[in-house]
Chains A and B, each alone.
Chain A
Amino acid sequence: GAVVSQHPSWVICKSGTSVKIECRSLDFQATTMFWYRQFPKQSLMLMATSNEGSKATYEQGVEKDKFLINHASLTLSTLTVTSAHPEDSSFYICSATLQGGENIQYFGAGTRLSVL
């Protein structure tokens, strides 16, 4: 149980285009979903926290107009990287916490974004 699916696993796009990444909790309802960014050989950096039906809470320094987060249901959150540029190339990972659970985060497999 507690499986989080993330799609796509790898995406290449041209500079200036937008990319959408989906995060789904497959067998549970997620109270909260989190989006992280990870650079090579570094730790996970929290970008934003999203709760179903409400606006995401962004960490300091993360541009909310650049990284659009939508959490329309208890099983789906999306991250859209708008007008992507090469510096947005990174590994993006989502996680979800189980509704009624004890703050355990279950992670997706990540999305490798390469912006040309």
Chain B
Amino acid sequence: GENVEQHPSTLSVQEGDSAVIKCTYSDSASNYFPWYKQELGKGPQLIIDIRSNVGEKKDQRIAVTLNKTAKHFSLHITETQPEDSAVYFCAASFSGGDKVIFGPGTSLSVIP
């Protein structure tokens, strides 16, 4: 089955700096890669996703890149703000199936 690894587990950046979180997956059949942001005591919120037919997707300060050959994908947050502080989860799935497999999460702290 699919296995998703995520690094780093914790990340602290100064406000305004960039943050990068990296994930790898094991199942080459996976073709859908969402990223979720979870604030304390709340459910995960989808912030961006990418499918295997593209290599990069950007939405304002957030971008995701995908390298299918190497089976890794990354989240990039630019101009970080304190409200970006949260736990971020990457995930992978095969869009024809149901399950989404989550990485272990990255706790991001943006220091004002």
B-binding residues in A (CB < 8 A):
4, 6, 32, 34, 41-44, 46, 49, 93, 95, 97, 102-110, 112
Please encode chain B, from 101 to 112, with 1 for each CB lying within 8 Å of some chain A CB and 0 for all others.
Answer: 011110100000
By DSSP majority rule, is chain A's interface helix, strand, loop, or mixed? strand
A contact residues around B103 at 8 Å (CB): 43
A-binding residues in B (CB < 8 A):
32, 34, 36, 41-46, 49, 89, 93, 95, 97-100, 102-105, 107
> How far is it, in angstroms, between the C-alpha of A26 and the C-alpha of B32 when the chains are bound?
25
* Cβ–Cβ contact A107 & B49, under 8 A: no
In the complex, the chain A residue whose C-beta lies closest to that of B103 is A43
> How far is it, in angstroms, between the C-alpha of A112 and the C-alpha of B97 when the chains are bound?
29
Contact for A108 among B43, B93, B104, CB less than 8 A: B43
B contact residues around A105 at 8 Å (CB): 34, 46, 100
- B97 CB, min distance to chain A CBs, angstroms: 8
* Cβ–Cβ contact B104 & A43, under 8 A: yes
Contact for B98 among A43, A49, A93, CB less than 8 A: A49
Nearest 6 CB-CB pairs, A to B? A107-B43, A110-B43, A103-B95, A109-B43, A43-B104, A107-B44
B contact residues around A41 at 8 Å (CB): 107
B contact residues around A112 at 8 Å (CB): 41
In the complex, the chain A residue whose C-beta lies closest to that of B9 is A41
- A110 CB, min distance to chain B CBs, angstroms: 5
In the complex, the chain B residue whose C-beta lies closest to that of A101 is B95
* Cβ–Cβ contact B46 & A106, under 8 A: yes
A contact residues around B95 at 8 Å (CB): 102-103
